[in-house]
Amino acid sequence: MNSVFISATTKGFAELRKQIAMILKHQRIEVLEQEHFTPASKIVQREIEEQISRADGVLFLVGPYYGYPMQDVQPDLARRHSYTQYEWHLAKRWGKRSLTYLIEDKFFPSVESEPEPGREGRFPDEGKFTEWQRSFWDEVRAGSKSSARVTVSSELQLAYELAKVNWREWLNG
């Protein structure tokens, strides 16, 4: 059975990730995702690496939200990268087949830079997260031509783009 790892921040994409997973499962594609990972930093990093190594392809939803910052992991990555950004860099480094959907701010009714519940005061660089995410978005947008990238501004447009994908052909091609 083919498998796809879905990479997206929980903030802004939790429900959408579930919907995409349901579509893929309906097509008998195993869905791998980080939603069920345990909270300890080093364990999450290891789980991400295991899931992406198992996946035949990786689907990325890259939007305005920074996600959860890596801490106590790899010092060069932990300074600026969220776990979701780490997933993108890891898949790129490993040459994984990938589809990337760049989600514009207008996709969301209101983009908030406020931290998720439970994050308040925990991260001294919280104010820089929006700036770092915008830099990452620009990096992905300018990235390698070897992975498909589509910019979308509405749920309808994303649904249309996802419906055009022949998942089995993409995963086995």
Over the stretch 84-114, which tens digit does the pLDDT of each residue have? 888 888 998 899 998 988 887 777 655 454 5
Tell me what pLDDT residue 37 has. Answer: 57
The structural domains of the chain, with segments of one domain joined by +, span 3-172
Instruction: Kindly give the interhelix angle for 129-142 and 83-93, rounded to the nearest 10 degrees.
Output: 20
Other C-beta atoms lying within 10 Å of the C-beta of residue 114: 9
What are the tokens at 100? 């990337």
pLDDT in tens, the chain (173 residues): 899 999 988 777 888 888 899 999 999 999 997 765 555 556 778 888 899 999 999 999 888 777 777 765 555 544 567 888 888 889 988 999 989 888 877 776 554 545 454 444 444 455 566 677 777 877 887 775 556 678 888 888 888 888 899 988 989 87
Tell me what pLDDT residue 119 has. Answer: 47
Residue type, 93: R
Q: Nearest CA to 96 among 164, 19, 9, 170?
A: 170
Cβ atoms of residues 54 and 93 within 8 Å: no
Tell me what pLDDT residue 78 has. Answer: 46
Q: What architecture does CATH give domain 3-172?
A: 3-Layer(aba) Sandwich (3.40)
Q: According to the 3-state scheme, what is the secondary structure of 67-123?
A: CCECCCCCHHHHCCCEHHHHHHHHHHHCCCEEEEEEECHHHCCCCCCCCCCCCCCCC
Q: What is the pTM for the complete model shown?
A: 0.79
